[in-house]
Amino acid sequence: MEGDSTAINITETPKERKGKAPLLAPPRASSTIKPVVQKAPAKGGYKRGLAIFDVILRIAGIATALGAAIAMASTEQTLPFFTQFFQFKAQFDDIPSFTFFVIANSITAAYLALTIPISIVCIVRPHLVAPRVVLIFLDSVMVALTTAAAGGAASIVYLAHNGNSDANWPAICQQFNDFCQEVSGAVVASFLTVVVLMFLVVLSAFAL
């Protein structure tokens, strides 16, 4: 009949299915590559370490300078025998060099205590240059002051131990033995302070 329509089903063979490519290929899984960020080594690490060592040396310098000043200022000895008019007594303020020694070492101890905050600033901000320059200048001044005081006192201690036959100065340490021992210990402590101050100058120079 003319009004009837017939539907014809065409089945595809497996070979024909393989030959046809899909119109839209499935999206490939994108592999995300994360960039590796290498942290740069922290700059100023060694400067911070030098600043910490600087604080430790300043504390040590305070101990040696203050010990030298106290030892010298408390030095006194009176011999057990005396005459009707004289009493044999030795103390530090009888000699101007020893008085200067006490003043200079006291100034050095106070200076080292006052400069500890500057060293702490160098620990927090190790790249700062101005505090280092100030410390180098002031430490150098303290080296000169402390060396002068220790050298002057050392010359008096040498004369007290050995005397001077050309000037007819007798050695007094045979009579004032305790006095000479305490004074000698104070001079040694002052020279240790000089060594500490010299190390501080070198540390500040390296940290620049």
What's the pTM value of the predicted model, to 2 decimals?
A: 0.72
For the stretch 69-98, pLDDT in tens is: 999 998 877 766 665 556 567 777 888 899
Tokens 């106070």 locate to: 110
Nearest to 182 by CA among 158, 157, 159: 157
30 is written with which tokens? Answer: 């994108």
| Phi and psi angles of residue 27, each rounded to the nearest 5 degrees, phi first | -65, 135
Q: Are 151 and 90 in contact (CB under 8 A)?
A: no
For the stretch 117-159, pLDDT in tens is: 999 998 888 888 888 899 999 999 999 999 999 999 999 999 8
With a cut of 70, say whether residue 56 has pLDDT above it: yes
In angstroms, the Cα distances linking 193 to 61, 70, 92, 206 are 5, 14, 20, 20
DSSP 8-state class, residue 68: H
Alpha helices in 6-129 (DSSP H): 14-19, 45-73, 96-114, 116-124
Q: Are 105 and 66 in contact (CB under 8 A)?
A: yes
73 is written with which tokens? Answer: 């200022």
